Structure 1
Amino acid sequence: MAKQKGLIINREISWLYFNERVLQEAADKTVPLIERLRFLAIFSSNLDEFYRVRVPTLARLSNINTKAKEQLGYNPKKILKEIKNLVVRLERKFDDLYENEIIRELAEEKIFIINEHQLNVKRGEFLRGYFRDKLLSTLVPVMLNDDKPFPEMKDRAIYFFVKLSKKDKCRYSLMEIPVESLERFVVLPETNDLRFIILLDDIIRYCLDEIYFIFDYPTVEAYSIQLTRDAEIELDRTVSEKFVEALTKSLQKRKKGKPMRLLYDNAMPDDMLKYLVEHLHLDGDGLIPGNRYHNFKDFINFPNVGRKELEYPRAEPLGVQDLDLSKSIFSQIARRDYLINLPYQSFDYIIHFLREAAIDPKVTEIHITLYRLAQNSRVINALINAAKNGKKVNCLVELKARFDEQNNIYWTNRLEEEGVLVNYGLMDYKVHSKICLITRMEKGKAVYYANLATGNFNEKTARLYCDHSVFTTHQGIARELKKLFRGLEKKIFYSDYHYLIVSPLETRKKIYALIDTEIRNKKEGKPAGMILKMNSLADEEMIDKIYEAGAAGVEVQLIIRGMCCLVPGMIGLSENIRVISIVDKYLEHARVWIFTNGGDEKIYLSSADFMTRNLDRRVEVGFPVLDEGVKQEIRDIISIQLRDNTKAREINKQNNNRYRRAGRGRKYRAQTDIYTYLKNKKLN
């Protein structure tokens, strides 16, 4: 079914529509001004990753034969063309927002981002001093020569492509901007209550004469460029002992991957652009015109030198009703299950759980899977402390977590040095589950305490990502977790779980069975419906199954933050399917599956999106919510999200990211309303 034209949106195109929703936040005048600038940074960072990972895959597929294209269901070359057209449109919108709105509104706040042409004598002298003291020694200009190979450009680094000219002569030079070793933004001395900020790039532009003074060329021009390379890692099949070494070598190769995109200052003269294209061997699809500043992701750290109202106020993490951090967390969760709603509630509960396990004499063993870790990880510190206290700590660190590989290698080495038993995961399957199991001896018996979550054990992202984390002592769930960990250690998969829904062997068929139940109940006149929340919906077979439910009259409500390849609102197929996407100050990351089940509602939380990789090529864990209080809380939170008419966008056939608006009715904003709901619950 899904191969028919119009029933499936290409996943890369759908992802670009998601990134457009991020850009909408930058355009939203109700968002504080500095936050709008940061949404521009997030948009830019997202696009960088897209060109590092998704576009290279399409490029590899672009030369396949006609028969293969039919099996694929789309023409990669056509998709690449469509990507470029969309990206160029979004980049123009980006430039317009930055140059014509945000810069002007910052000026209204007496904050000025100035360039090298806007310096008076006093500020110019200040920056000359800064340049000589901090910058000059870090710059390494390379003079280009047609007799020598073009210098190897780093992935995503910012360079100045420099032209030195006089009369009919010219020379070219390449110079990396040292943004990794120095702050990108320099705050100039305040004048008459006016604040001035200049980028490192423009300080270098201002002082070009001090760099190229030995050449007798009166005109020196510098234009910023950024090369994005293929970042996919290819690993040889190696035995586990050599896995870290093989991965480390592959990470080095990533830095020299095939060029995929050249982002260039659109003010650059044609002769300079032609020179670059010839020497970098790029085709037209890889050329993206931009403004004078690249690596805009650095604007996430743009300093707020103005009013505090220019940023979102920091909401302090709430406590959880009846869960006391000053008491034993084991004694409390022995009585009932608890739900932690991040980032609204504190990640300290998870840290407390691990710290107590580390020193509790009754705890004998800890099992945990780790995917992405914070830089200064308190989770790691707790696990090391547990090992030092004689606990058997079994830690599965997923070394293939994209763009966190180097960080995870570091933590793996650190854990092993401290006596933690580290499992590197599986060669062909990423372990993406977020699970922890603690074994405690009570009256001579092993009692299990578990934490299962939709998001990583990462205290940094826990302040920004909306996730659910459940503490439970349900021994059926715990025993199945024990079995799962045993399988991971032996590198085998089990497929006969009663409570858990585990990829790669079970998730697809169990979700199909749950959907089939809703279809059957609808036909029999019983209550039927589904609410599915996730980051991405892209697997075509799963989309077909959801279409089948919608066509049978089952009401389907989807909350999809990112890619959604399903097309709602098609008569006879998906008119019973409604899709919204919420993009707001926090990143919606939770995966929640709710099935009406004839009136006896079933709720699952999971680490898995409905993408082929999550269903078939990763170790994922979905788990039932069995505690009635926890079920009600999740249901309340999902209901709040479904009401959102401020930050929710409709996903529709037109892909126009239309906001759901209240008109004259009451305004609902899910992330604000959830915080209020949980705060009131804590007070009661």
Structure 2
Amino acid sequence: MNHKKYTNRELSWLQFNARVLQEAADVEVPLIERLRFLGIFSNNLDEFFRVRYAAIKRAKHSDDVSKKKLGGLSAKRLLTEITQIVIKQQADSLEILAAIQSKLEHHNIFIVDENQIKGHQKDFVKDFFLQKVSPALVTIMLNDLNEVPKLKDSAAYLAVKLIDQSAKKRKTRYILIEIPNNVERFIVLPQDEDKKYVMLIDDLIRYNLDTLFNIFDYKDLSAHMIKITRDAQLDLEGDFNKSYIEKIIDGVKDRVDGDPVRFVYDQNIDQDTLDFLLDKMQIDDADSIIPGGRYHNRRDYMKFPDLGAKHLLYDKIQPLPINGLKLHGSLFKHIREKDYLLYAPYHTFSYVVKFLREAALDPKVKFIGITIYRLAEVSHIASSLINAAKNGKKVMVSIELQARFDEANNIKYAERMQREGIQLVFGVTGLKVHAKACYIERVEEEEKVKRYGFISTGNFNENTAKIYTDYTLFTSNSSILKDIKKVFEFFEVNYKIKKYKHLIVSPHYTRERFEELIDHEIENQLQGLPAGIKFKMNSLSDYQMIDKLYEASQKGVKIQLIIRGICCLKPGVKDLSETIEVISVVDKFLEHPRLYIFENGGAPKFYISSADLMTRNLDHRVEISCPIYDEDIKKELLDTFEICWNENIKARLFSPNKVNKYRRNGQKEVRSQFATYQYYLDKLEKLNS
């Protein structure tokens, strides 16, 4: 394998997170939104270390790992490169944070530490600490312990060094204070005229350290933050007497025992304190040890209070109705006549909830089947399914309990649904169910069964639907829905591999079918027929699929790729990928759709999909790619793709030599997310005029 053909997956992901950091640095982005992008950057990094870095660390100790699996790099070298990049990114993020805080002060918003509290705020801070914070604190005296108790994954701690003079011989005490996560990280202090003040709970604790440790006669006291990140892999082997759901519950609980993979510390910490902690916690050079700033867990900036400063936030959009599909009245009646496309968050997600609520109440509906990957914390989707079961309908839910970091939420609802008599399917052995589909059977005229359903590129989650862009197709197309029914049958009897006439389903058919579709574009190109490929996805990392796109490029097929995250393909390389262009759009919303368009000799084929072109989606998950047959929806998909492709404000170019360079093409400015909303607004106005 020629590894120069590919970008390493992990390094490409770090380039993606650098694009998030660019948003935090962009002076055109509203100030509080910039803080929130810093939070997203930090949260992404936490998950990266818990999953990807941890996997490479395990690979380092594996006998059968090869450089091929890691994009041509040894595990040891890759771990070193990741740490170096992250240290640089962390330093950049601290500079960005300082610049944002300075700008906020121009708007009379001050983020203050324990040394900057005004006189009239002191009583408030002390009272808040005693009433809200002190009861929630866990304080660990380390000196007399043989080893440090298992610190929580990604929790933040203040490492306190206290010089105790109460004994005959002066003693240095080392103490850990866990920052409580059941108290808001940002405390809004009393105002001073028109000036607004915010304090991090970390500093509020620092201000009250004397209250906390007044039993000691101390000479000196200092506190610096640390954080440890652990391997998040679940261990599902072992006790055969336990059910699958019990193993998942135990696995989530056992994450506290996962091996450490990253240790972040305040670079101003005393060296003896750092050495004491590293030794006590058995942190070694295989872990990523990263010097940071005064504050960790900057993911909490995602929830920075708006302080009523609307001018420092993005304007909220009002989600639009779908053209021709009214929320009042029966959705089934409309969908029976034609297909409809929902594009969240430009359209309201209420259609999905309304569809399920109607199904739950409709006496003619006899069966509901749905796949669930990530539910909202308060889920109207789950409530509607429980309501349907209470109304005597047969409800079958395929719920993925191994949806990373959402296991506990999904378990909670799985147990509720199980109690209500809903038939639960916990995936397929060895495969995650990542497909996004709903199937409904309704008895109509002459007692005939009429099928309805929807297929989506995103999770059925009310919260993420406000910030993730995703397509959902509502349909009563019997041909498509018969295939969806087969997917649910496969969940129950998965030793039988189904054949599908319309859907492309992983893990059995997606790789082969997509390669056939690309081959057809190559053939059309060679015959002088219209040929071209337009893909929009989150990630492209499967080498075999990349090689097939390289082959198409070498035959002259024009390929346009919009990829938000990982891209291991190298575009624009002579004699390899000259006809391939790749852009990434990172902006107000998280670009999440998977859309695959093949020119097909002038009669384009369109597919919306739950699958990225990653090995896991092609070979190790249940995924659905759904064809689009409605001509109006085809045009809508092409229009929205082209709007995004013409993006020249928030689009970054993929290039081996120009990492994350903004695309500036001299054309009329197009900010695609704003332009897409305007596109749907214009369609509505045209309909109503």
Question: TM-score, normalising length from structure 1?
Answer: 0.97
Residue 568 of structure 2 is matched in structure 1 by 565
Residues 137 and 238 of structure 1, relative CA distance in 2, 3 Å threshold: closer
Alignment match, 1:133: 131
Match of 1:499 in 2: 502
* Structure 2 residue corresponding to 1:409, chosen from 391, 408, 411: 411
Counterpart of 1:635? 638
Q: C-alpha offsets along residues 387-418 of structure 1, whole Å, 9 cap, x if unaligned?
A: 11111111111111111111111111111111
Letter aligned with residue 436 of structure 1? C
1:97 is displaced (CA, Å) by 0.3
Coordinate RMSD, CA, aligned: 1.6
Counterpart of 1:46? 44
SS at match of 1:188: strand
**Range 36-45 or range 234-243, more displaced:** 234-243
The alpha carbon displacement at 1:655 in A equals 5.0
1:538 aligns with one of 541, 544, 553: 541
Name the CA distance, whole Å, in 2 between partners of 1:292 and 1:482. Answer: 54
Query: Residue 450 in 1 paired to residue 453 in 2?
Result: yes
Query: Aligned in 2, Cα 1:205/1:332: closer, same or farther, shift over 3 Å?
Result: same
Q: Which residue of 1 aligns with 2:243?
A: 242
Aligned length: 679
Distance 2:145 2:633 in 1: 69
Shift of 1:151: 2.1
Report if aligned partners of 2:140, 2:175 keep a CA contact under 8 Å in 1: yes
* 1:120 Cα deviation from its structure 2 partner: 3.0
**Structure 2 contact 150–256 (Cα < 8 Å) conserved:** no
Residue 238 (structure 1) shift? 7.3
Aligned residue in 1 for 2:488: 485
Superposition map of 1:139-218 within 5 A: 139-145=137-143, 148-165=146-163, 169-178=171-180, 180-218=181-219
| Counterpart in the other structure of 1:584 | 587
Q: Distance in 2 between matches of 1:579 and 1:505?
A: 28
Q: Partners in 2 of 1:42 and 1:67 — Cα distance?
A: 32
Counterpart-to-counterpart distance in 1, 2:151 and 2:641: 47
Contact 1:158–1:176 (8 Å) recurs in 2: yes
Q: Counterpart in 1 of 2:109?
A: 111
Are the counterparts in 2 of residues 111 and 306 from structure 1 also a CA contact under 8 Å?
A: no
Match of 1:366 in 2: 368
CA contact (8 A) 2:164 2:216 kept: no
- Alpha carbons of 1:439 and 1:107: their partners in 2 closer, same or farther (altered >3 Å)? same
Write the mapping of 1:194-343 to structure 2, written as runs, cut at 5 A. Answer: 194-236=195-237, 242-284=243-285, 285-343=287-345
- What is aligned with 1:574? 577
Measure how far apart 1:170 and its partner are: 1.6
Find out whether 1:667 has 2:665 as its counterpart: no
Report the AA paired with residue 90 of structure 1.
Q
In 1, distance between residues paired with 2:570 and 2:55?
24
Cα distance in structure 2, aligned partners of 1:181 and 1:660: 43
**Aligned-residue offset at 1:610:** 0.6
- Deviation, 1:326, is 1.3
Q: Distance in 2 between matches of 1:581 and 1:295?
A: 27
- Please report how far the alpha carbon of residue 71 of structure 1 lies from its aligned counterpart in structure 2 after TM superposition: 6.5
Counterpart of 1:609, as a letter, is D
Per the alignment, residue 477 of structure 2 pairs with 474
- The one-letter code sitting in structure 2 at the alignment partner of 1:430 is K
Q: CA deviation at 1:351?
A: 1.1
1:629-650 CA-partner distances (Å, limit 9, x unpaired) = 1100000000000000011100
Superposition pairs of residues 340-351 of structure 1, within 5 angstroms: 340-351=342-353
Output the CA distance in 2 between the equivalents of 1:195 and 1:157: 28
Selected match of 1:395 from 394, 397, 406 = 397
Q: Deviations over 1:336-360 (max 9, x none)?
A: 1100001100111111111111111
CA contact (8 A) 1:17 1:655 kept: no
The one-letter code of the counterpart of 2:199 is I
Query: Structure 2 unaligned runs (5+)?
Result: none
CA distance in 2, matches of 1:70, 1:329: 51
1:464 matches 2:487: no
2:559–2:579 CA contact under 8 A, matched in 1: yes
**2:620 aligned residue:** 617
Tell whether 2:100 aligns with 1:97. Answer: no
Give 1:580 deviation, angstroms: 0.3
Q: TM-score, normalised by structure 2?
A: 0.96
Aligned to 2:3, what secondary structure does the other structure show?
A: coil
Name the residue aligned to 2:60. 62
Residue of structure 2 equivalent to 1:652: 655
2:138 alignment partner, SS class: coil
* Superposed structure 1 runs of 4+ greater than 6 Å apart: 237-241
| Cα displacement string for residues 537-579 of structure 1 (whole angstroms, at most 9, x for unaligned residues) | 0111111111111111111110000100111111001111000
- Residue deviations 1:147-180, cap 9 Å, x none? 52222211111101100126974221111111x2
How far apart are the structure 1 equivalents of 2:451 and 2:546?
A: 37
Q: Deviations over 1:592-634 (max 9, x none)?
A: 0000011110000000001111000000000100000110000
Partner of 2:87: 88
Q: Partners in 2 of 1:170 and 1:479 — Cα distance?
A: 71
Q: 1:378 to 1:660 in 2, by over 3 A?
A: same
> What whole-Å deviation, never above 9, does each CA across 1:60-100 have from its counterpart, x for those lacking one?
1113459833565431111111101110110011000001x
Moved more, 303-312 or 68-77: 68-77
* Contact 2:571-2:578 at 8 Å conserved across structures: yes
- Map Cα deviations across residues 84-130 of structure 1 (whole Å, 9 max, x no partner): 1110110011000001x101000000000000111233222321222
1:147 & 1:411 partners in 2: Cα distance? Answer: 40
Deviations 1:454-495 (A, max 9, x none): 011111111111000001111111111111111111123534
Partner of 2:3: 5
Distance (Å, rounded) in 2 between the aligned partners of 1:239 and 1:659: 54
Residues 644 and 672, structure 2, Cα contact 8 Å, conserved in 1: yes
Q: Residues 238 and 574 from structure 1, CA distance in 2 versus in 1: closer, same or farther, beyond 3 angstroms?
A: farther
User: For 1:369 and 1:453, how far apart are their aligned partners in 2?
Assistant: 10
Distance 1:389 1:121 in 2: 61
CA contact (8 A) 2:225 2:294 kept: yes
Q: Distance in 2 between matches of 1:618 and 1:646?
A: 35
Distance in 1 (alpha carbons) for counterparts of 2:145 and 2:591: 52
SS at match of 1:654: coil
Moved more, 106-115 or 288-297: 288-297
Question: For residues 238 and 427 of structure 1, what CA distance do their matches in structure 2 show?
Answer: 17
Please report how far the alpha carbon of residue 427 of structure 1 lies from its aligned counterpart in structure 2 after TM superposition: 2.7
Q: Which deviates more from structure 2 when the two are superposed, residues 404-413 or residues 63-72? A: 63-72
Residue 509, structure 1, aligned to residue 508, structure 2:
no
Structure 1 residues 614 and 153: alpha-carbon distance in aligned structure 2, compared to 1, 3 A threshold: same
Greater CA drift, 314-323 or 382-391: 382-391
**Percent of counterpart pairs with the same letter?**
46
Is contact 2:147-2:281 (8 Å) kept?
no
Instruction: Give the 3 Å change call, closer, same or farther, for CA 448–540 of structure 1 in structure 2.
Output: same
Distance in structure 2 (CA, Å) of the matches to 1:140 and 1:67 = 41
Q: 1:413 to 1:67 in 2, by over 3 A?
A: closer
For residues 210 and 69 of structure 2, the distance between their equivalents in structure 1, rounded to whole angstroms, comes to 58
CA contact (8 A) 2:522 2:531 kept: yes
Q: Secondary structure at the match of 1:218?
A: strand
Does the CA contact (< 8 Å) of 1:27 and 1:36 recur in 2? Answer: yes
Confirm or deny: 8 A CA contact 1:394 1:420 kept in the other structure: yes
Gap runs ≥5 in structure 1: none
Q: Residues 481-523 of structure 1, C-alpha deviation per residue, up to 9 Å, x if partnerless?
A: 1111111111235342120000000000000000000111111
Amino acid in structure 2 at the alignment position of 1:477: I
